[in-house]
Structure 1
C-alpha cells in the first residue's frame, strides 16, 4: 500500500506540474499496484471476522492506512479530471477554430456563397507545452 500511495502522490505532483509524459510513464506500475491493492482489499473484506480475531492490531493498522489513502486518491482523481477537462477544452477550441474558417457566410449583408469543400489544414502540436 505504501508503494501505491507513493506512485499516486508522484503522479498527482507530475500532472500538477504539467509533466504529463512523465506521469503517463507511471501508469503501468500504478495499474499493477492498484490490481494488487484491490485483490487484497477483496480478500480482507471476505475474511473480516477471521482476520479481526487473529490479528486485530494489523486490521486496525490496515484500516488506518486505507483511511489515509482515500483523501490522497480523491485529490489524484480530481487533478486527473481537471487535466482531462483542460485537454478536452483545448481540443474543442482547436476544432472549433479549424471548423470556423470553413463555415459558409451566407447570411447577413456581406454574405457570400458557400465555398467548395477543401481539405482541412494541418494542425501542429507543441509537445513541449
Structure 2
C-alpha cells in the first residue's frame, strides 16, 4: 500500500527582531502607542458598562479586537527582540515593563467590571427563571402529606436571547 503524503504545517513566518537602537526605540514607541490605544478603548468600555450601557459598550468590540491583534503582534516582536534589548537598552526594557504593569492593572479593572456585570445579569436571569418556575409548579400534596416535587413536565424552560 502506498502511504499518503504527510502534510507538514507551514512554518510560522519569522518575526523581525530589532537589531539597531533606532529599531528598538521604534518598537518601544509602537508598543506604547498600542497599549495607549487599547487602554483608551477599554476605559471607555468600562465606563459604559459601569453606567449600564451595555449596548454602547459592545460597539467597541471591533476596535478592541483590532487593537488587541496589534498588541499581540508588537509583543511578539518585542519577545523576539528581548536578547538585543537586554544587552543594548536595559533601561528601555525596564521602562516598558513598568508601563506594561500599569497596563495590566487597568486590564484587571476592566475584567472585574465585566465579570461583575456578567454576574449581575446572570443573577437577574436566574431570579426570573425561579419566579416563572414557582408560578408554574402546582401546589399539591401527596398521600404522606408532603409537598410533591414537580416533574419535568411541570417545568417550563426559559429562553434567553444573548444578543442585545
Q: TM-score surpassing 0.5?
A: yes
C-alpha separation in 2, matches of 1:23 and 1:54: 42
> Please, which runs of 5 or more residues in structure 2 have no aligned partner?
1-34, 160-164
Q: TM-score when scaled to structure 1?
A: 0.77
| 3-state secondary structure, aligned to 2:136 | coil
Alignment of 1:78-117 (within 5 A): 78-107=112-141
C-alpha separation in 2, matches of 1:47 and 1:107: 74
The answer as to 2:85 corresponding to 1:51 is: yes
The answer as to 2:39 corresponding to 1:5 is: yes
- Alpha-carbon shift at residue 5 of structure 1 (Å): 0.8
The answer as to 2:52 corresponding to 1:18 is: yes
C-alpha separation in 1, matches of 2:70 and 2:90: 22
C-alpha separation in 1, matches of 2:138 and 2:72: 54
Residue-pair matches, total:
119
> Please, which runs of 5 or more residues in structure 1 have no aligned partner?
124-129
C-alpha separation in 1, matches of 2:108 and 2:137: 42
The answer as to 2:44 corresponding to 1:38 is: no
